[in-house]
Amino acid sequence: NAGVTQTPKFRVLKTGQSMTLLCAQDMNHEYMYWYRQDPGMGLRLIHYSVGEGTTAKGEVPDGYNVSRLKKQNFLLGLESAAPSQTSVYFCASRITGTTGELFFGEGSRLTVL
């Protein structure tokens, strides 16, 4: 049972390049989330999804897009990367309802030069 898997784990981009981070979960969870973690800022929610085909903006959505075409996958896209998007990105998932344990992936470290 892999849980939440993120790919790639590391990536270096130049300003203006695009890329997609993939999150896959094998727990049949409805809810999925993308966070970024920066020193002194904690975990900040970028986008989230409460089910296949649905997405919503979180706290810091600008510069990112997401898609949830399949229940088990949640993609985070950067169309034109900026140095301010240098961060560690975490994907998480949980069961349906107002509360429940968040299961996190191991993170994707992105550097934008």
Partner 1 sequence: QKEVEQDPGPLSVPEGAIVSLNCTYSNSAFQYFMWYRQYSRKGPELLMYTYSSGNKEDGRFTAQVDKSSKYISLFIRDSQPSDSATYLCAMGSPSGTYKYIFGTGTRLKVLA
Minimum distance from CB of 65 to partner 1 (Å)?
A: 19
Alpha carbon distance 4, 32 (integer Å): 10
Specify the stretch interacting with partner 1 by CB under 8 A; choose among 16-24, 64-72, 77-85, 92-100. Answer: 92-100
DSSP three-state, residue 83: helix
Query: Which window, 17-25, 61-69, 70-78, 103-111, contacts partner 1 (CB under 8 A)?
Result: 103-111
DSSP string, 17-81: --EEEEEEESS--SEEEEEEEETTTEEEEEEEEEETTEEEE-SS-TT-EEE-SSTTEEEEEESS-
Residue 28 sits in the site that holds partner 1 (CB under 8 A)? no
Judged by beta carbon, residue 81 or residue 92, the one nearer partner 1 is 92
Residues that bind partner 1 (CB under 8 A): 4, 31, 33, 35, 40-45, 48, 50, 58, 90, 92, 98-99, 101-102, 104-107
